[in-house]
Amino acid sequence: MLGLEKKDFRLLLIVIGLTLFAPFLLNPFPEGSELAQFNAGYPDLMQRFVIFGIFAIGFNILFGLTGYLSFGHAAFLGVGSYAAVWMFKLLSMNVLPAIFLSVIIAGLFSLIIGYVSLRRSGIYFSILTLAFAQMSFALAYSVLTPITGGETGLQLALSDPRIFGEAQTATGNIPVPALFGLEMRSSLEWDVGGWLFTFNAGYYLAAFFMIVAFYLAIRIFRSPFGMMLRAIKSNQTRMAYTGLNARPYTLAAFVISGMYAGLAGGLMASMDPLAGAERMQWTASGEVVLMTILGGAGTLIGPVLGAGMIKYFENIFSKINSTILHDWFAFLPDGLEDIVVAMIYPFIGKGWHLTLGIMFMLVVIFLPGGLVQGGQKLAGLFSRKKAEDNTKSSATEPAE
Protein backbone atom coordinates (compact mmCIF):
# COMPACT_ATOMS: atom_id res chain seq x y z
CA MET A 1 0.00 0.00 0.00
CA LEU A 2 1.11 3.56 -0.76
CA GLY A 3 4.38 2.22 -2.12
CA LEU A 4 5.29 0.62 1.18
CA GLU A 5 6.19 -2.92 2.00
CA LYS A 6 3.73 -4.80 4.15
CA LYS A 7 5.80 -4.47 7.31
CA ASP A 8 6.31 -0.75 6.91
CA PHE A 9 2.68 -0.22 6.10
CA ARG A 10 1.75 -1.99 9.29
CA LEU A 11 4.11 0.31 11.21
CA LEU A 12 2.50 3.33 9.56
CA LEU A 13 -0.93 2.04 10.51
CA ILE A 14 0.21 1.61 14.11
CA VAL A 15 1.51 5.18 14.18
CA ILE A 16 -1.75 6.47 12.68
CA GLY A 17 -3.73 4.53 15.25
CA LEU A 18 -1.61 5.78 18.13
CA THR A 19 -1.90 9.40 17.09
CA LEU A 20 -5.65 9.24 16.34
CA PHE A 21 -6.48 7.64 19.68
CA ALA A 22 -3.88 9.53 21.71
CA PRO A 23 -6.53 11.45 23.68
CA PHE A 24 -7.76 8.09 25.03
CA LEU A 25 -4.39 6.39 25.39
CA LEU A 26 -2.80 9.30 27.24
CA ASN A 27 -5.68 9.74 29.67
CA PRO A 28 -5.93 6.29 31.23
CA PHE A 29 -6.78 7.53 34.72
CA PRO A 30 -10.13 8.99 35.69
CA GLU A 31 -10.33 12.70 36.43
CA GLY A 32 -9.99 13.45 40.12
CA SER A 33 -8.25 10.20 41.02
CA GLU A 34 -4.83 10.18 42.65
CA LEU A 35 -3.26 8.91 39.43
CA ALA A 36 -4.76 11.69 37.29
CA GLN A 37 -1.42 13.38 37.96
CA PHE A 38 0.08 11.06 35.35
CA ASN A 39 -2.45 11.79 32.63
CA ALA A 40 -0.84 13.40 29.63
CA GLY A 41 -3.90 13.81 27.45
CA TYR A 42 -4.20 17.57 27.52
CA PRO A 43 -3.79 19.57 24.30
CA ASP A 44 -0.49 21.28 25.03
CA LEU A 45 1.39 18.10 25.82
CA MET A 46 -0.22 16.06 23.04
CA GLN A 47 0.77 18.78 20.58
CA ARG A 48 4.29 18.73 21.95
CA PHE A 49 4.48 14.93 21.57
CA VAL A 50 3.74 15.02 17.86
CA ILE A 51 5.67 18.22 17.11
CA PHE A 52 8.83 16.98 18.77
CA GLY A 53 8.13 13.66 17.10
CA ILE A 54 8.39 15.42 13.73
CA PHE A 55 11.57 17.18 14.88
CA ALA A 56 13.13 13.89 15.97
CA ILE A 57 12.05 12.02 12.81
CA GLY A 58 13.76 14.72 10.76
CA PHE A 59 16.87 14.64 12.89
CA ASN A 60 17.00 10.89 12.52
CA ILE A 61 17.09 11.19 8.72
CA LEU A 62 20.41 12.97 9.10
CA PHE A 63 21.86 11.28 12.17
CA GLY A 64 20.35 7.82 11.85
CA LEU A 65 21.14 7.41 8.16
CA THR A 66 24.32 9.36 7.49
CA GLY A 67 25.76 9.30 11.01
CA TYR A 68 26.43 13.05 10.88
CA LEU A 69 25.69 14.27 14.40
CA SER A 70 24.34 17.81 14.18
CA PHE A 71 24.37 19.72 17.43
CA GLY A 72 22.62 22.72 15.99
CA HIS A 73 19.28 21.47 14.82
CA ALA A 74 17.34 23.65 17.20
CA ALA A 75 18.39 26.65 15.12
CA PHE A 76 16.18 25.42 12.25
CA LEU A 77 13.29 24.89 14.62
CA GLY A 78 13.75 28.43 15.90
CA VAL A 79 14.00 29.93 12.43
CA GLY A 80 10.83 28.09 11.46
CA SER A 81 9.00 29.50 14.48
CA TYR A 82 10.10 33.05 13.72
CA ALA A 83 9.03 32.68 10.09
CA ALA A 84 5.61 31.41 11.14
CA VAL A 85 5.01 34.18 13.67
CA TRP A 86 6.04 36.81 11.11
CA MET A 87 3.57 35.26 8.70
CA PHE A 88 0.85 35.61 11.35
CA LYS A 89 1.86 39.19 11.95
CA LEU A 90 2.03 40.24 8.33
CA LEU A 91 -0.11 37.95 6.19
CA SER A 92 -2.93 36.12 7.90
CA MET A 93 -3.80 34.05 10.92
CA ASN A 94 -4.25 30.96 8.73
CA VAL A 95 -1.69 28.37 9.76
CA LEU A 96 -1.05 26.88 6.30
CA PRO A 97 0.96 29.77 4.79
CA ALA A 98 2.82 30.11 8.08
CA ILE A 99 3.79 26.45 8.14
CA PHE A 100 4.70 26.54 4.45
CA LEU A 101 6.97 29.53 4.89
CA SER A 102 8.62 28.11 7.98
CA VAL A 103 9.55 24.95 6.07
CA ILE A 104 10.96 26.98 3.19
CA ILE A 105 12.95 29.37 5.39
CA ALA A 106 14.33 26.56 7.51
CA GLY A 107 15.29 24.73 4.31
CA LEU A 108 17.18 27.73 2.96
CA PHE A 109 18.85 28.34 6.30
CA SER A 110 19.93 24.72 6.57
CA LEU A 111 21.23 24.86 3.01
CA ILE A 112 23.60 27.67 3.97
CA ILE A 113 24.71 26.12 7.26
CA GLY A 114 24.93 22.65 5.74
CA TYR A 115 26.99 23.90 2.80
CA VAL A 116 29.62 25.25 5.18
CA SER A 117 29.45 22.63 7.93
CA LEU A 118 29.49 19.56 5.67
CA ARG A 119 33.00 20.39 4.51
CA ARG A 120 34.02 18.55 7.64
CA SER A 121 32.77 15.34 9.16
CA GLY A 122 32.74 13.70 12.57
CA ILE A 123 33.38 15.85 15.60
CA TYR A 124 34.33 18.88 13.50
CA PHE A 125 30.96 18.84 11.80
CA SER A 126 29.22 18.62 15.17
CA ILE A 127 31.18 21.56 16.53
CA LEU A 128 30.52 23.64 13.42
CA THR A 129 26.78 23.10 13.63
CA LEU A 130 26.89 23.81 17.36
CA ALA A 131 28.74 27.05 16.70
CA PHE A 132 26.23 28.12 14.05
CA ALA A 133 23.31 27.37 16.32
CA GLN A 134 24.84 29.29 19.20
CA MET A 135 25.50 32.18 16.83
CA SER A 136 21.87 32.14 15.76
CA PHE A 137 20.79 32.04 19.38
CA ALA A 138 23.02 34.96 20.35
CA LEU A 139 21.85 36.97 17.35
CA ALA A 140 18.21 36.27 18.07
CA TYR A 141 18.66 37.04 21.74
CA SER A 142 20.20 40.48 21.37
CA VAL A 143 21.47 41.85 18.06
CA LEU A 144 18.41 40.99 15.97
CA THR A 145 15.93 42.12 18.61
CA PRO A 146 13.87 44.16 16.10
CA ILE A 147 13.21 40.96 14.10
CA THR A 148 13.15 38.38 16.86
CA GLY A 149 11.84 40.28 19.87
CA GLY A 150 15.01 39.41 21.79
CA GLU A 151 14.66 37.93 25.21
CA THR A 152 10.92 38.49 25.31
CA GLY A 153 10.38 36.52 22.15
CA LEU A 154 8.40 37.43 19.06
CA GLN A 155 4.75 37.90 19.84
CA LEU A 156 1.60 39.03 18.16
CA ALA A 157 0.37 42.51 18.96
CA LEU A 158 -2.89 44.36 18.52
CA SER A 159 -1.22 46.69 16.04
CA ASP A 160 0.01 44.01 13.61
CA PRO A 161 -0.40 45.10 9.96
CA ARG A 162 -2.12 41.90 8.82
CA ILE A 163 -2.93 41.92 5.11
CA PHE A 164 -5.67 39.26 5.16
CA GLY A 165 -7.92 39.15 8.15
CA GLU A 166 -8.59 41.49 11.00
CA ALA A 167 -5.95 43.07 13.24
CA GLN A 168 -8.13 42.45 16.24
CA THR A 169 -11.30 40.54 16.94
CA ALA A 170 -14.67 42.15 17.60
CA THR A 171 -14.01 41.92 21.34
CA GLY A 172 -10.72 43.75 21.01
CA ASN A 173 -8.40 40.78 21.33
CA ILE A 174 -5.61 39.42 19.19
CA PRO A 175 -7.00 36.77 16.83
CA VAL A 176 -5.72 33.23 17.33
CA PRO A 177 -4.14 31.00 14.66
CA ALA A 178 -6.72 29.00 12.78
CA LEU A 179 -7.12 26.68 9.84
CA PHE A 180 -9.79 28.32 7.69
CA GLY A 181 -11.69 29.48 10.75
CA LEU A 182 -11.05 26.40 12.87
CA GLU A 183 -9.13 27.74 15.83
CA MET A 184 -6.08 25.71 16.81
CA ARG A 185 -6.88 26.03 20.48
CA SER A 186 -10.49 24.87 20.18
CA SER A 187 -11.20 21.50 21.71
CA LEU A 188 -14.06 19.13 22.07
CA GLU A 189 -14.33 17.65 25.52
CA TRP A 190 -15.96 14.30 26.07
CA ASP A 191 -16.98 13.39 29.59
CA VAL A 192 -17.53 9.64 30.04
CA GLY A 193 -17.92 8.34 33.52
CA GLY A 194 -15.00 9.70 35.47
CA TRP A 195 -12.89 10.25 32.39
CA LEU A 196 -12.46 13.43 30.47
CA PHE A 197 -11.09 13.15 26.95
CA THR A 198 -10.00 16.25 25.06
CA PHE A 199 -9.93 16.34 21.28
CA ASN A 200 -8.00 19.37 20.21
CA ALA A 201 -8.06 20.80 16.69
CA GLY A 202 -4.43 21.87 16.82
CA TYR A 203 -3.35 18.45 17.95
CA TYR A 204 -5.04 16.72 15.05
CA LEU A 205 -3.50 19.14 12.57
CA ALA A 206 -0.06 18.50 14.05
CA ALA A 207 -0.77 14.76 14.11
CA PHE A 208 -1.72 14.86 10.43
CA PHE A 209 1.60 16.52 9.64
CA MET A 210 3.44 13.98 11.75
CA ILE A 211 1.85 11.08 9.92
CA VAL A 212 2.82 12.63 6.60
CA ALA A 213 6.33 13.27 7.92
CA PHE A 214 6.54 9.70 9.14
CA TYR A 215 5.38 8.33 5.80
CA LEU A 216 7.96 10.42 3.96
CA ALA A 217 10.64 9.21 6.35
CA ILE A 218 9.75 5.58 5.59
CA ARG A 219 9.94 6.28 1.89
CA ILE A 220 13.33 7.96 2.31
CA PHE A 221 14.62 5.09 4.46
CA ARG A 222 13.60 2.56 1.82
CA SER A 223 14.70 4.52 -1.25
CA PRO A 224 17.98 4.22 -3.15
CA PHE A 225 18.75 7.65 -1.75
CA GLY A 226 18.40 6.24 1.77
CA MET A 227 20.67 3.37 0.80
CA MET A 228 23.25 5.90 -0.37
CA LEU A 229 23.01 7.71 2.95
CA ARG A 230 23.57 4.46 4.80
CA ALA A 231 26.59 3.82 2.63
CA ILE A 232 27.99 7.19 3.68
CA LYS A 233 27.55 6.19 7.28
CA SER A 234 29.25 2.84 6.95
CA ASN A 235 32.27 3.97 4.96
CA GLN A 236 32.55 7.33 3.32
CA THR A 237 36.15 6.84 2.19
CA ARG A 238 35.29 3.70 0.29
CA MET A 239 32.46 5.55 -1.40
CA ALA A 240 34.82 8.27 -2.46
CA TYR A 241 37.21 5.67 -3.98
CA THR A 242 34.42 4.17 -6.00
CA GLY A 243 33.99 7.60 -7.56
CA LEU A 244 30.91 8.78 -5.74
CA ASN A 245 30.73 12.27 -4.35
CA ALA A 246 29.07 12.06 -0.95
CA ARG A 247 28.60 15.78 -0.40
CA PRO A 248 25.40 16.28 -2.43
CA TYR A 249 23.78 13.35 -0.60
CA THR A 250 24.73 14.55 2.85
CA LEU A 251 23.70 18.08 1.98
CA ALA A 252 20.33 16.84 0.75
CA ALA A 253 19.83 14.85 3.94
CA PHE A 254 20.84 17.88 5.99
CA VAL A 255 18.40 20.16 4.20
CA ILE A 256 15.59 17.61 4.45
CA SER A 257 16.09 17.25 8.17
CA GLY A 258 16.34 21.02 8.47
CA MET A 259 12.98 21.31 6.74
CA TYR A 260 11.49 18.78 9.14
CA ALA A 261 12.77 20.96 11.99
CA GLY A 262 11.27 24.00 10.30
CA LEU A 263 7.93 22.19 10.00
CA ALA A 264 8.08 21.43 13.73
CA GLY A 265 8.93 25.06 14.47
CA GLY A 266 6.08 26.32 12.30
CA LEU A 267 3.63 23.96 14.00
CA MET A 268 4.84 25.05 17.41
CA ALA A 269 4.20 28.67 16.52
CA SER A 270 0.78 27.71 15.11
CA MET A 271 -0.26 26.03 18.33
CA ASP A 272 1.06 28.86 20.46
CA PRO A 273 1.93 32.03 18.53
CA LEU A 274 5.19 32.93 20.20
CA ALA A 275 8.76 32.36 19.07
CA GLY A 276 11.48 32.61 21.68
CA ALA A 277 15.23 32.56 21.27
CA GLU A 278 15.58 29.76 23.82
CA ARG A 279 14.25 27.40 21.18
CA MET A 280 17.61 27.77 19.41
CA GLN A 281 19.83 27.28 22.42
CA TRP A 282 22.28 24.38 22.42
CA THR A 283 20.30 22.63 25.16
CA ALA A 284 17.37 22.44 22.75
CA SER A 285 19.67 20.96 20.11
CA GLY A 286 20.99 18.50 22.65
CA GLU A 287 17.45 17.51 23.55
CA VAL A 288 16.67 16.22 20.06
CA VAL A 289 19.90 14.22 20.10
CA LEU A 290 18.79 12.68 23.38
CA MET A 291 15.34 11.92 21.97
CA THR A 292 16.78 10.15 18.96
CA ILE A 293 19.33 8.12 20.89
CA LEU A 294 16.92 7.31 23.69
CA GLY A 295 14.35 6.01 21.24
CA GLY A 296 16.83 4.33 18.94
CA ALA A 297 18.83 6.13 16.26
CA GLY A 298 18.39 4.79 12.78
CA THR A 299 15.05 3.17 13.53
CA LEU A 300 11.80 4.54 12.19
CA ILE A 301 9.64 4.69 15.28
CA GLY A 302 12.43 5.21 17.84
CA PRO A 303 12.77 8.99 17.64
CA VAL A 304 9.03 9.44 18.09
CA LEU A 305 9.09 7.28 21.21
CA GLY A 306 12.13 9.14 22.55
CA ALA A 307 10.47 12.50 21.95
CA GLY A 308 7.33 11.36 23.74
CA MET A 309 9.30 10.04 26.66
CA ILE A 310 11.37 13.18 27.20
CA LYS A 311 8.39 15.49 26.88
CA TYR A 312 6.41 13.34 29.28
CA PHE A 313 9.17 13.59 31.86
CA GLU A 314 9.57 17.31 31.34
CA ASN A 315 5.89 18.08 31.74
CA ILE A 316 4.52 15.46 34.11
CA PHE A 317 7.38 14.53 36.41
CA SER A 318 8.53 18.10 36.87
CA LYS A 319 5.15 19.04 38.33
CA ILE A 320 5.22 16.61 41.22
CA ASN A 321 6.11 18.76 44.21
CA SER A 322 6.85 17.78 47.79
CA THR A 323 3.25 18.36 48.89
CA ILE A 324 2.01 15.74 46.43
CA LEU A 325 4.72 13.33 47.58
CA HIS A 326 3.67 13.78 51.19
CA ASP A 327 0.11 13.03 50.10
CA TRP A 328 1.19 9.79 48.47
CA PHE A 329 3.15 8.55 51.43
CA ALA A 330 0.73 9.81 54.05
CA PHE A 331 -0.04 6.21 55.02
CA LEU A 332 3.47 5.75 56.41
CA PRO A 333 4.36 6.75 59.99
CA ASP A 334 5.45 10.37 60.23
CA GLY A 335 9.20 9.92 60.60
CA LEU A 336 9.37 7.26 57.90
CA GLU A 337 7.23 9.37 55.58
CA ASP A 338 9.70 12.24 55.78
CA ILE A 339 12.62 9.92 55.08
CA VAL A 340 10.94 8.32 52.07
CA VAL A 341 9.94 11.71 50.66
CA ALA A 342 13.43 13.09 51.23
CA MET A 343 14.86 10.11 49.35
CA ILE A 344 12.54 10.35 46.37
CA TYR A 345 12.23 14.12 46.12
CA PRO A 346 15.63 14.81 44.49
CA PHE A 347 14.60 12.61 41.54
CA ILE A 348 11.28 14.14 40.68
CA GLY A 349 9.82 17.61 40.61
CA LYS A 350 12.64 19.99 39.79
CA GLY A 351 15.03 17.04 39.84
CA TRP A 352 13.49 15.42 36.76
CA HIS A 353 16.65 16.08 34.79
CA LEU A 354 18.45 13.77 37.17
CA THR A 355 16.03 10.91 36.58
CA LEU A 356 16.17 11.48 32.85
CA GLY A 357 19.96 11.47 32.98
CA ILE A 358 20.02 8.16 34.84
CA MET A 359 17.56 6.62 32.40
CA PHE A 360 19.59 7.88 29.47
CA MET A 361 22.73 6.31 30.91
CA LEU A 362 20.99 3.00 31.49
CA VAL A 363 19.59 2.99 27.97
CA VAL A 364 22.92 3.82 26.37
CA ILE A 365 24.78 1.21 28.44
CA PHE A 366 22.32 -1.66 28.32
CA LEU A 367 20.23 -0.91 25.23
CA PRO A 368 22.49 0.79 22.68
CA GLY A 369 19.63 0.49 20.21
CA GLY A 370 17.38 2.58 22.40
CA LEU A 371 13.84 1.86 23.49
CA VAL A 372 13.19 0.05 20.22
CA GLN A 373 15.84 -2.49 21.10
CA GLY A 374 14.27 -2.79 24.53
CA GLY A 375 10.95 -3.58 22.87
CA GLN A 376 12.59 -6.17 20.65
CA LYS A 377 14.25 -7.83 23.61
CA LEU A 378 10.92 -7.99 25.38
CA ALA A 379 9.28 -9.46 22.30
CA GLY A 380 12.16 -11.92 22.05
CA LEU A 381 11.42 -13.16 25.54
CA PHE A 382 7.97 -14.21 24.49
CA SER A 383 8.59 -15.63 21.05
CA ARG A 384 11.94 -16.77 19.78
CA LYS A 385 10.80 -17.08 16.23
CA LYS A 386 9.39 -13.60 16.03
CA ALA A 387 12.58 -12.15 17.46
CA GLU A 388 14.56 -13.70 14.62
CA ASP A 389 12.14 -12.10 12.19
CA ASN A 390 12.70 -8.79 13.80
CA THR A 391 16.45 -8.86 13.67
CA LYS A 392 16.35 -9.72 9.99
CA SER A 393 14.19 -6.76 9.14
CA SER A 394 16.06 -3.58 8.45
CA ALA A 395 13.13 -1.54 9.72
CA THR A 396 14.10 -1.99 13.31
CA GLU A 397 17.81 -2.40 13.06
CA PRO A 398 19.57 -0.21 15.62
CA ALA A 399 22.26 2.24 14.69
CA GLU A 400 25.84 1.15 14.80
- Positions in the binding site for other proteins (CB under 8 A): 1-3, 5, 20, 39, 42-45, 48, 138, 141-142, 145, 150-153, 155-159, 168, 171-174, 176, 179, 182-183, 185-189, 198-201, 204-205, 208, 222-224, 272-274, 276, 278-279, 314-315, 318-319, 321, 349-350, 353
From the CB of 279, what's the least distance to other proteins, in Å?
A: 6
- How many Cβ atoms from other residues are within 10 Å of residue 346's Cβ? 11
How far CA 71 is from CA of 32, 128, 129, 363, 365, in Å, comes to 42, 8, 6, 20, 22
From the CB of 115, what's the least distance to other proteins, in Å?
A: 28
Query: Among residues 386 and 392, whose Cβ is nearest to other proteins?
Result: 392
Query: Among residues 155 and 355, whose Cβ is nearest to other proteins?
Result: 155
Query: Among residues 114 and 177, whose Cβ is nearest to other proteins?
Result: 177
**168, 175 contact by CB (below 8 A):** yes
Residues for the chain: how many in total?
400
Distance, CA of 334 to CA of 361 (rounded, Å): 34
Query: Among residues 222 and 377, whose Cβ is nearest to other proteins?
Result: 222
From the CB of 379, what's the least distance to other proteins, in Å?
A: 25
From the CB of 9, what's the least distance to other proteins, in Å?
A: 11
Query: Among residues 48 and 162, whose Cβ is nearest to other proteins?
Result: 48
From the CB of 140, what's the least distance to other proteins, in Å?
A: 11
Distance, CA of 394 to CA of 396 (rounded, Å): 5
From the CB of 331, what's the least distance to other proteins, in Å?
A: 21
From the CB of 165, what's the least distance to other proteins, in Å?
A: 16
How far CA 50 is from CA of 139, 208, 239, 287, 309, in Å, comes to 28, 9, 36, 15, 12
